[in-house]
Structure 1
């Protein structure tokens, strides 16, 4: 038997995305964005409230980075999601995150986050109090410690976390259980 839960954002796993920007004055900011994902092989979409400092920065600069949050940085990742850059001018310092300027876009890369997508805005639409942003991924940078010998991402080393909207929890992405584009062939 199934139970109806109503219209809720229950997609699993839901990535924990840390969006980093520069303000018009060059100050860095970051926020935890719960709703976003890949919409094409080289594009992503994020949805963020219009009241955020990050929203203002994206509107002004049209560029940002998206770091994939991991277990090691869970506390800092949660902190940048619950504290507004409008209210806390030392938000980045208090988070413990350190940044360097992206080589590809006018936005900071958070050094502690092992995987970062560097993005340029292509579309921006406001729905009620939310911005829907579609951006082209112009580069992905990865800390060498999460790469295999042949340069691929090792998800065990990445140790990414996921957001569980139903229980307001963070979950660690788990073990490999199959091979994409191969396991289904057994049903042919």
Structure 2
């Protein structure tokens, strides 16, 4: 038996993206965005309304970063989602976050969040609020790298948003091997 809920914005996992950009004066701002993901090989797509300070910053500078929200900074990530840069100019400072300029795009990297996509704006549709950006670089702090120099999700501890219960959930438990486990069924 199944229960119907109708059309909802429910999907698992829903990433917790922290999107950051500079304003016209070089002041960084960031927001929490859950509606997004990889769009094509080197493009990320995110739904951001035009009223957000961060969206206006991206449209002005044509660059932004996307950091993964993490379990270690869940309270900070939530704060970035409930406080508007339109009303709080010192939002990042009040959150206790520090930024540095990306070496690849004109956008801030949040030092405390250990994985960041550095992006150039490709397009923005104000009717659908769909923003796309070309990923120029992915940077990661050394403390989340494994012995082979690759990002270890158990060290990153990325969080997802549960849109039904309004919880944040941590990812990390390995349950299988991609492009391998399904071969067992192919051999039958």
TM-score between the two structures when normalised by the length of structure 2: 0.96
Instruction: After superposition, give the CA deviation of every residue in 1:102-123 in whole Å (9 maximum; x if it has no partner).
Output: 0000000000001000001111
Could you tell me which residue of structure 2 aligns to residue 132 of structure 1?
130
Could you tell me which residue of structure 1 aligns to residue 74 of structure 2?
74
Alignment equivalent of 2:161, drawn from 160, 163, 172: 163
1:174 deviates by 3.3
In the alignment, structure 1 residue 55 sits paired with structure 2 residue 55 = yes
Alignment equivalent of 1:183, drawn from 177, 181, 184: 181
Runs of 4+ in 1 over 3 A off after TM superposition: none
1:50 deviates by 1.3
Could you tell me which residue of structure 2 aligns to residue 15 of structure 1?
15
Instruction: After superposition, give the CA deviation of every residue in 1:58-97 in whole Å (9 maximum; x if it has no partner).
Output: 1111100000010111111110111111101111110111
Could you tell me which residue of structure 2 aligns to residue 103 of structure 1?
103
RMSD of aligned alpha carbons: 0.9
Runs (5+) with no aligned partner, structure 1: none
Runs (5+) with no aligned partner, structure 2: none
In the alignment of these two chains, the number of paired residues is: 186
1:31 deviates by 0.2
1:40 deviates by 1.6
TM-score between the two structures when normalised by the length of structure 1: 0.96
3-state SS of the aligned residue for 2:182?
helix
Structure 2 CA distance for aligned equivalents of residues 143 and 160 of structure 1:
14
